[in-house]
Structure 1
Amino acid sequence: MIKRLHIRNYAIIEELTLEFATGLSIITGETGAGKSIVLGALNLILGGRADTKTLFDDSRKCIIEGRFDIAAYDLRSFFTDNDLDYDAELIIRREITPSGKSRAFVNDTPVNLKVLQELGSTLIDLHQQFDTLYINNSDFQLELLDALAGQRDAVREYRTEYQRLQQTRRKLAQLREEQAQARREQEFLEFQVNELEEANLRENEQESLEAERHRLSNADEIKQLTSGVFHYLTEADESVTDRLLAISVKLTPLSAGDPQLQSIAERFESIRLELEEVASDLEAFGSDTDVRPDRLEEIEERLNLLYRLQTKHSVKTNTELLEIYRELSARLDHFSDLGGSITKLEKEQDQLRARLVDQGKQLRKARERVAPDFAANVQQQLGELSMTNARLKVDFTPLPEPGPHGLDEVRFLFSANKGGKLQAIKDAASGGEMSRLALVTKSLVASAMQLPTLIFDEIDSGVSGDVAQRMGRILTDLSRHHQVVVITHSPQVASRAHRHYFVYKTDKTDAERTITRVRELDGDERVRAIATMLSQNPPSESALKNARELIEAV
């Protein structure tokens, strides 16, 4: 519900604040005093179009701010989806600069008009003549019937199943596209996998082959070098190892009494033994190295294959080739599994659709059950509001497939005149007729469903006396469940107010200019205002008496 509306520098409003409460708030005032301007300002924070021509002072920006209590609305997901901070008290602000720039804020976060319009539509239902109203919206018409049928949980369950069906259909379409793509790619993938499979790739194979190739390519030099070194170290006259052994023999006994020399002698002996081991290893390495042209050729062929595959797949190592082989094999396996996955999803889709059809039939049955009484009650109440020839029919059109709301498209068909053709409401009702129809339909579901704040602008246009009184009673009943704001010229409607606001014009003290002001009426002021609406200004005594009687009769 709206709690507060603050307007600054808009049209003929310099600055004013309206505080709203629950129940029925009535706004009255002289023609041209600015009642419609207040609605125009409210429309701006609902995402309406901005215009610099509406600035009161074209050197300053216009600011419209509304405060709302949204605790009763289920809006957390909307705030999350639009990256907005949620709070039970919502502040919407709209600014229009003298240059024409318009900015909108939700809880101090900038938003675009689309977000503002979507949010505003859940908070305020503004009924002005010739506007397109909620009552024209097929989704709202369905929601209304479901509320009367008491099947909110069933509708929620249906929509959950419908979303699952849509997700399954999207997944199925994706898999079918993948399958079509797979058929185009599978042959090429199989060729690549088979080629890598035939290569019989092994971890660390490349490094081992490159080392072996190096040894075989240099086999003659290796054998010659290792043999020469071994001979020089161990077999030649006065070989290196013999000389080192002679030194060690002499050094060891001398070091027995000297710790420092003993350490050196131990190090020397270690080196001597290591050198003998190196000589032995060199001799063994040379002995194992053979000149094998056939093996070298085999290694070259194998490495050329690996290098070619690496170049083909834009990698540099055998390990990377193996990873590509695993990835391609996995893709090929996935393509092979697609048929089974598609069959499984098709079965799931059929099951979901069958459940939806069953649930949809139950929804349809409940809607068809309440539709005749609803239409009859609408016609009865419209008759009491001086629309005796009005007719309403709830039309059900079966859908070829389960839709997001059921198995049917539902439309309210309406005729305001005797013998008139039943048509969509927007094509069959005038602004005033549409407003009365909206009032009646919403009053019938007031206790069954959550509605935004309802604002009616001159809904009582063209009615008076008993009809206006009946309209006032309907508005009062509606306001027991929802916040209702009505702009009226009818004293019968105004007398029903829980809060009564009076819009008037006054001259600005420091300039020759008229401005709009608003004040809340109470007690004698309210009696006088209603009496003036009944007669003239100043009102007669009989009008004052009649006004008191109207207020006391509520």
Structure 2
Amino acid sequence: MIKRLHISNYAIIEELTLDFADGLSIITGETGAGKSIVLGALNLILGGRADTKTLFDDTQKCVIEGRFDVAAYALQPFFEEHDLDYDPDLIIRREITPSGKSRAFVNDTPANLKVLQQLGATLIDLHQQFDTLYINNSEFQLELLDALAGQQPATKDYRSDYHKLQDAQRRLRQLREAQAQARREQEFLEFQVQELEEASLQANEQEELEGERHRLANADEIKQLTAGAFHYLTEGDSPVTDRLMAIANKLAPLAAGDKKLQSISERFESLRLELEEVASDLDAFGEDTEVNPNRLEEVEERLNLLYKLQTKHAVKDNEELIAVYLELSGRLGEFADLGSQIIKLEKEQERLTASLLKQGEVLRKGREKVAPKFATNVRKQLADLSMANARLEVDFKPLDKPGLNGLDEVRFLFSANKGGKLQSIKDAASGGEMSRLALVTKSLVASAMELPTLIFDEIDAGVSGDVAQKMGRILTDLSAHHQVVVITHSPQVASRAHRHYFVYKTDKQDAERTITQVRELNKEQRVKAIATMLSQNPPSDAALKNARELIEAV
């Protein structure tokens, strides 16, 4: 609900503040006093277009600020979606600079007009322009019927399953597209995987083969070198190991009494033993080295295969080649799994579709059950509001498949005149007729569904007397469940106010300009204002008495 509207430097409004409350708020005033200007300012914070021509002082910026209580509107997801700070005490501000730049803020966070329009549609239902009326919206018409049928929870469950079906269908399309692509790729992947499988890749194989190839390619030289080295170190007339042993035998006794020499002796002994081991290893390596041209050819062929595969798959070694093989095998496995996933999703789609058909049939029966009574009640109330020949019918058109709101498309068809053709509301109703229709339909579901703040601009145009009295009662009943604001010229409607605001013009102190002001009326001021609406200004005693009776009769 709206709690406060502050307007600064807009049209003929220099500055004013309106505080609203629950129930029925009435705004009255002389023609041209500025009531429509207040609505124009409100429309700006609902995302309406801005114009610098509306600046009161074209050297200063215009600021319109609305404060709303949105605790009951469940708007947290909307705020999260648009990266806005949520607070149940919502402030929307619109600024227009003299240069024509327009800025909007939601809780002090900059917002674009689209966000403002979406948020505003949730907060305010302004019955001023045909295209803003909820009653024209087919989705609202369905919500209205569901509210009358008491099946909002069932509708919520249906929509939840519908969104699940949409998600399943989306994923199914993606999987089928992937499967089609897989079929095109599968043959090539299978060839690649088979080629790698036939290669029987082994970890560390390349390094070992490259070492073996080196030994085989240099086998003669290796055998000669190792044999010569072993002979030099351990055999012959004066082998190196024997000479080192002789030195060790002489050094050990001398080092026994000298720590420094002892350390050198130990290092020498370690070196001598290491050299003997090296000689032994060289001899063994030479013995193991085989001169084998056939094996060398096999190793070369194997390495050439590995190098070829590495080049083909743009990798640098055998380990990366094995990783490629595992990846390609995994992708083939995914392709094989696509079929089972598709079957699973197809079954889920069938289950959800069957569930939606069953739920949709229940929703249809509930809507069809309440529709005739609803149409009858609308006709009766419209007749009370001086529209005796008005007719409304609910048209159900079956859908080919489950939709977001059920198995049917629903349209309210309307005719305001006797013998008139039933048409969609926007094509059949004038502004006043549409406003009355909106008032009646919403009053019938006021206790059954959540509605935004309802603002009616001169809904009572062209009616008076008993009809205006009945309209006032409907507005009062509606305000018992929702915040209602009415701009009116009808004393009968104005007498129903819980809060009564009077819009008037006055000259500024410098007398250079006329400005619009608004004040909330107390009981006696209300009596005088309504009496003036009944007669003239100043009102007659009879008008004052009549006005007091109207107020006290509420």
TM-score (norm 2): 0.98
Confirm or deny: 8 A CA contact 2:3 2:68 kept in the other structure: yes
For residues 278 and 392 of structure 2, what CA distance do their matches in structure 1 show?
Answer: 109
Match of 1:157 in 2: 157
Match of 1:16 in 2: 16
The answer to whether residue 179 in structure 2 is matched with residue 179 in structure 1 is yes
Match of 2:280 in 1: 280
Task: Compute the displacement of 1:264 (Å).
Answer: 2.2
Structure 2: 5+ residue runs without aligned partners? none
CA deviations 1:462-483 (Å, max 9, x no partner) are: 1111111110110000001000
Match of 1:368 in 2: 368
For residues 218 and 13 of structure 1, what CA distance do their matches in structure 2 show?
Answer: 103
For residues 114 and 139 of structure 2, what CA distance do their matches in structure 1 show?
Answer: 19
For residues 206 and 97 of structure 2, what CA distance do their matches in structure 1 show?
Answer: 73
2:486 alignment partner AA: V
Q: Which moved more, 1:68-77 or 1:298-307?
A: 298-307
Match of 1:94 in 2: 94
For residues 313 and 273 of structure 1, what CA distance do their matches in structure 2 show?
Answer: 50
CA deviations 1:480-536 (Å, max 9, x no partner) are: 100000000111111111111111111122361111111111122111111111111
**Aligned pairs for 1:304-453 within 5 A:** 304-453=304-453
Q: Which moved more, 1:441-450 or 1:327-336?
A: 327-336
Match of 1:210 in 2: 210
**Aligned pairs for 1:124-139 within 5 A:** 124-139=124-139
Confirm or deny: 8 A CA contact 2:125 2:132 kept in the other structure: no
Task: Compute the displacement of 1:131 (Å).
Answer: 4.2
1:251 alignment partner AA: L
SS of the residue 1:322 aligns to = helix
Task: Compute the displacement of 1:449 (Å).
Answer: 0.5
The answer to whether residue 504 in structure 2 is matched with residue 507 in structure 1 is no
CA deviations 1:88-133 (Å, max 9, x no partner) are: 1111111111121111111111111111111110000000154441
Structure 1: 5+ residue runs without aligned partners? none
The answer to whether residue 551 in structure 2 is matched with residue 551 in structure 1 is yes
SS of the residue 1:359 aligns to = helix
CA deviations 1:360-379 (Å, max 9, x no partner) are: 00001111111111111111
Q: 1:511 to 1:253 in 2, by over 3 A?
A: farther
SS of the residue 1:413 aligns to = strand
1:59 alignment partner AA: T
1:9 alignment partner AA: N
Match of 1:67 in 2: 67
**Aligned pairs for 1:446-461 within 5 A:** 446-461=446-461
Confirm or deny: 8 A CA contact 2:126 2:132 kept in the other structure: no
2:235 alignment partner AA: E
1:395 alignment partner AA: D
Confirm or deny: 8 A CA contact 1:378 1:440 kept in the other structure: yes
For residues 536 and 224 of structure 2, what CA distance do their matches in structure 1 show?
Answer: 132
For residues 525 and 548 of structure 1, what CA distance do their matches in structure 2 show?
Answer: 11
2:103 alignment partner AA: R
Match of 2:539 in 1: 539
2:256 alignment partner AA: A
Confirm or deny: 8 A CA contact 2:505 2:517 kept in the other structure: yes
Confirm or deny: 8 A CA contact 1:508 1:514 kept in the other structure: yes
1:339 alignment partner AA: G
For residues 129 and 48 of structure 2, what CA distance do their matches in structure 1 show?
Answer: 16
Task: Compute the displacement of 1:315 (Å).
Answer: 1.2
Q: Which moved more, 1:238-247 or 1:473-482?
A: 238-247
For residues 523 and 301 of structure 1, what CA distance do their matches in structure 2 show?
Answer: 108
1:340 alignment partner AA: S
Task: Compute the displacement of 1:229 (Å).
Answer: 2.0
For residues 57 and 306 of structure 1, what CA distance do their matches in structure 2 show?
Answer: 84
Task: Compute the displacement of 1:74 (Å).
Answer: 1.3
For residues 113 and 281 of structure 2, what CA distance do their matches in structure 1 show?
Answer: 85
Confirm or deny: 8 A CA contact 1:45 1:120 kept in the other structure: yes
For residues 311 and 52 of structure 2, what CA distance do their matches in structure 1 show?
Answer: 67
Q: Which moved more, 1:451-460 or 1:198-207?
A: 198-207
- Identical residues among aligned pairs (%): 80
For residues 150 and 543 of structure 2, what CA distance do their matches in structure 1 show?
Answer: 46
Task: Compute the displacement of 1:259 (Å).
Answer: 3.0
1:160 alignment partner AA: S
Q: Which moved more, 1:245-254 or 1:477-486?
A: 245-254
Q: 1:511 to 1:230 in 2, by over 3 A?
A: farther
Q: Which moved more, 1:123-132 or 1:377-386?
A: 123-132
For residues 360 and 333 of structure 2, what CA distance do their matches in structure 1 show?
Answer: 40
Task: Compute the displacement of 1:257 (Å).
Answer: 2.7
Match of 1:519 in 2: 519
**Aligned pairs for 1:472-483 within 5 A:** 472-483=472-483
